[in-house]
Structure 1
Amino acid sequence: MTAPLLPGAALDEEDAEMTTPPDGRAGITADLVRRLLAEQFPRWAALPVRPVPVDGWDNRTYRLGDTMTVRLPTAAGYVPAVDKEHEWLPRLAPSLPVAVPTVLARGEPGAGYPYPWSVRGWLPGETMLSRPVDDPVGFAVSVGEFVVALRRCDATGGPAAGLHSFHRGGPLAHYDGETRSSLAALAGRVDTDLAIEAWERALAAEWSGPPVWFHGDIAPGNLLVADGRLSAVLDFGTSGVGDPACDLVIAWQVFAGESRRAFLETVGDDAGTRARARGWALWKAVLMLAECIDRDPPQAEVNRRVLGEVLAEHRGRHGRSGRRP
C-alpha cells in the first residue's frame, strides 16, 4: 500500500486551478486572442483557439492548434512573469529533470489588451489536481529531485526575490503583520499560542546561504502527471533567486506520512530551512483560514488540516518550551 497524500490541498487565488468559467474572465476572450495573433503572429492566426479545460488564476491560457498555447496575464501584478519566463526558462530547462514550458514568442499589448503575453509549446499530461498519482512516495521523490536540480542551476544574474515573486524567496518577515493579524482573528478557534511560537521560530531561522533558484509555487496545479509520473512543472511566474524554503510548502499542503518524509529527505535541508518552510505553510494556512472559516467550511477544513500538520511537526521537534529557538 502506498502512503497517502493529504485529502486536499490548501489553495488560494494565486495557486488554484479552476474549471474554465465563461469565456471573458478579466476581459480576455478567445476572440481577443485571435485578434492579437492576426496582428502580431499572422502565421498562427488560422489555427483554432479554445480555452483550456482547467485554467489558472494569474493568467488565462488558450490552446492554439494542437501543439501550442497562448498565455495572457489577468492583471498588472502578473505581468513581470512574462519577461522573466521568456528570458530564464530557456536557460533553466537543460538542467532540469522534467519538462518546463517552452516560450515560442512574446506578444506585445494590442487589440485593446494592455499587457505583454506569450505563445508557448503545449505540454502533455494532466495536473496533479486532475490526475491522482499511483505512487505517492515515488512522486514525492521526483518533486524533490526537481527542487534540488533547480537549486543547482546557475543563479548568476537571476531575479532577486521581491515584488515580482510576491516576496517568495525573501524574508518571512514581510508577512509578519499579515500572519499575526490572521492569528488574532482566529483566536479561540485554533491553537494561536503554538502557531505564534512556530512562526517566531521560523522568523528567527534566517537564511544565510547564497541565493539559489526557487520556483515559488510548487503546488498540485503546477505539476503535470503523465503515466503516473511527474512529467513537467509549470508556471515559473513566482520564481527567482533567494531562499529556497518556500518550495517545501507542498510537504505539508499535499504530502503526508511516507511521501512527506521521502520529499523532505530528497531535498535534504537543514533544520533552519525546514523551520522557515513550516513558516511559509503556516502563513498561507492561517491567512486563508481567517478568510474562509465562516463562509467556506470545506476550504476552511483543508487549511485547518494543513495548519494542524505544521503545528504537529513543530511540537514534535520543539515541544512548547517557549518562543525562543
Structure 2
Amino acid sequence: MHEDQVELTGEMARRLVDDQFPQWRHLPLRAVESDGTVNAIFRLGDELAARFPLRAMDPAEALAWLAAEADAAREFAGCPVPAPVPVALGAPGHGFPLPWSVQTWLPGRVATLDDPGGSFAFAQDLADLIAALRAADTRGRRFSGGGRGGNLPDHDEWMETCFRQSEGLLDVARLRRLWGELRTLPRTAPDVMSHTDLIPGNVLVRDGRLVGVLDTGGFGPADPALDLVAGWHLLDGPPRAALRRALGCGDVEWGRGMGWAFQQAMGLVWYYAETNPPMSRLGRRTLDRLLTES
C-alpha cells in the first residue's frame, strides 16, 4: 500500500513472538484480514493481538509512538465502550526493523463487514460514545501536530494534492467548491477529548449495535467536530440526522465535522485506488454522502 512499507511475513511474526515472549509460544498465530493501513494484525490465541507497523520510520521514533499509543489507549479505557488494552511492547528482530505491540483482542465484527449504516440504535450508541469522550478531562492539553483536529485551512496543501490526483476519478470542480465552503467555518468551542479516527474499520458491531472501538492510540484533544466524521463514514441520512440531534450540533460545528470527513475521504479515494480498494470505496461513499447533504 505504501512506497515505504516494510516487509513482514507470518514466519517473521511467529519468530518474534516466540523469541521475545516465550510464554506465548504455545498460542496459535494467524494473520487477520483487514483493510487497515497502519499496522499488520495477527491474532495470538483467543485473547491477544500482535500489531506490527507497516511504514518505515526510525526505530526510536516508532518506539516513542507505540509508547504514546499505549498511554492513550489506557486513558481511553475509562470510556464506556470496550477497547483493546495494551499488554506488551516487542523489539525489532528477524528482519523486521521496528518495535511492535501486543494488546487484548475484542470480539465483534468491524463495521466494514457488518454495516450499521441504517441503524438508529447504532447512531445513538455513537452519540453516547462521542458525548462520553467529550466529557473526559483534557488535563489542560490542546491539539498539537499536523493531523486532523486543528484548523481546517492548514490542510489546503494536502487537499490540493488530493484534487490534482483525483482528476479523472471524481468530480473535482464540485469537490473544490465544497472544500472552499467548509474550510472557512470557524471554531466554536475549545478542544475536547476525541478518538480522532472513527471509521468503519475501527468500530466493532454486533446486531446493529456498537460493541467495541479499535485503534484508540490517537485518543487526545482536538476540535469537538472531529469525531463527527463518524456520521458520514458510518451512517445513512436519517440515522446521521439522529446523531446530530442527540449531540445537539449547531450548523457550524456540524459543517466542520463535514470538513474533517471530507479531508479524510479525499485522500482515501486516490491514494488507495489500486492498493486498498475497500478504503478507496469508503472514501467515495463518504464523499457521496457529503455531496448529498451539502
1:42 to 16, 19, 22: 22
Distance 1:70 1:248 in 2: 29
Task: State whether structure 2 residue 257 is matched by structure 1 residue 273.
Answer: no
Distance 1:304 1:37 in 2: 38
Counterpart for residue 95 of structure 2: 112
| 1:278-300 residue CA offsets vs partner (Å, 9 max, x unmatched) | 11222334444566899999987
Counterpart for residue 110 of structure 2: 127
Alignment of 1:188-267 (within 5 A): 190=171, 192=173, 195-207=175-187, 209-267=189-247
**More moved, 117-126 vs 27-36:** 27-36
**More moved, 77-86 vs 109-118:** 77-86
Distance 2:109 2:55 in 1: 26
TM-score by length of 1: 0.75
| 1:40-90 residue CA offsets vs partner (Å, 9 max, x unmatched) | 222112221111243522101111111111111111469465222211222
Aligned residues: 287
Corresponding residue SS for 2:139: coil
Give the unaligned 5+ runs of structure 1: 1-12, 15-24, 315-325
Alignment of 1:1-325 (within 5 A): 26-54=6-34, 56-76=36-56, 79=62, 81-94=65-78, 96-133=79-116, 136-156=119-139, 160-163=143-146, 167-183=147-163, 186=167, 190=171, 192=173, 195-207=175-187, 209-289=189-269, 303=283, 306-314=286-294
TM-score by length of 2: 0.82
Partners of 1:147 and 1:214 within 8 A in 2 = yes
**More moved, 199-208 vs 288-297:** 288-297
Distance 1:297 1:132 in 2: 17
- The residue type paired with residue 262 of structure 1 is A
Partners of 2:50 and 2:103 within 8 A in 1 = yes
Partners of 1:161 and 1:168 within 8 A in 2 = no
Report how far residue 150 of structure 1 moved. Answer: 1.3
**More moved, 99-108 vs 233-242:** 233-242
Report how far residue 38 of structure 1 moved. Answer: 2.8
- The residue type paired with residue 121 of structure 2 is G
Report how far residue 91 of structure 1 moved. Answer: 2.1
Report how far residue 205 of structure 1 moved. Answer: 2.0
Partners of 1:133 and 1:229 within 8 A in 2 = yes
Partners of 2:116 and 2:235 within 8 A in 1 = no
Distance 2:253 2:137 in 1: 20
Aligned-residue sequence identity (percent) comes to 33
Partners of 1:81 and 1:236 within 8 A in 2 = no
Partners of 1:63 and 1:69 within 8 A in 2 = yes
| 1:125-181 residue CA offsets vs partner (Å, 9 max, x unmatched) | 111111234961111111121112112112226583424xxx111212232123245
Partners of 1:106 and 1:117 within 8 A in 2 = yes
Distance 1:294 1:47 in 2: 35
Partners of 1:202 and 1:272 within 8 A in 2 = no
**Structure 1 residues 135 and 183 mapped into 2: Cα distance closer, same or farther (>3 Å)?**
closer
